[in-house]
């Protein structure tokens, strides 16, 4: 799904958390490592998590030689990492495939250290059901009030949710993305 990988959105997310070199960041649903790459560029140690054995193999090929990267296979809905392990947690396009986005946000908050920062990037609500079907998404993006409510219910503080660029797909379809930020 690299057509949804916006360098602008990724860099805004990394800047929003003010990622410090040497800190630990978790990339949930790492896929091919697009967010992992941005976190490495910021000097973070990265735990790249994906549920797919194919993606885990690819992540190990791309980053396995780096001591700053640990690759973990785990489902999104039950991340197999210790509580409070990360300074930062990033999730790109994970809400779109989650059966329960509110529970997903609670789950990723669990792995944040106290004071840790969370950055979620995904699609804003759109009316392109064909895109949702083609990419196996469970919904047509998200509206900002729902996102805010889910963050509040998860106990996330200092919440900021804003539009963060867009992606251009085949057929001239333009989809807007959001960056949701908060702290534990």
Helix (H, G, I), strand (E, B) or coil at 36: helix
Mark the ranges of the chain whose per-residue pLDDT is less than 50: none
- Domains of the chain by range and CATH? 2-183 (3.40.50.150)
pTM, entire model: 0.94
CA dihedral sign, ordered 174, 121, 180, 38: negative
> Which residues pair with residue 119 across a beta bridge?
90, 181
DSSP state of 138: S
The tally of CA atoms less than 13 A away on the side-chain side of residue 24 is: 16
What digits encode the pLDDT tens for the residues 52-79?
A: 999 999 999 999 999 999 999 999 888 9
What digits encode the pLDDT tens for the residues 72-105?
A: 999 988 899 999 999 999 999 999 999 999 999 9
């Amino acid at each position: 799904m690299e057509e949804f990988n916006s360098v602008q959105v990724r860099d805004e997310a990394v800047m929003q958390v003010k990622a410090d070199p040497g800190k630990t960041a978790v990339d949930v649903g790492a896929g091919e490592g697009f967010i992992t790459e941005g976190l490495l560029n910021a000097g973070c140690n990265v735990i790249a998590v994906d549920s797919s054995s194919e993606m885990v193999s690819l992540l190990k090929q791309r980053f396995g030689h780096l001591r700053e990267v640990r690759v973990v296979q785990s489902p999104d809905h039950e991340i197999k990492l210790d509580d409070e392990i990360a300074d930062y947690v990033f999730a790109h396009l994970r809400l779109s495939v989650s059966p329960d986005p509110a529970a997903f946000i609670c789950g990723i908050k669990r792995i944040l250290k106290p004071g840790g920062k969370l950055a979620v990037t995904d699609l804003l609500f759109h009316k392109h059901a064909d895109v949702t079907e083609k990419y196996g998404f469970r919904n047509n993006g998200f509206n900002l009030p729902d996102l805010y409510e889910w963050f509040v219910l998860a106990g996330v503080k200092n919440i900021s949710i804003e539009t963060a660029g867009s992606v251009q797909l085949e057929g001239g379809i333009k989809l807007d993305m959001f960056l949701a930020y908060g702290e534990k």
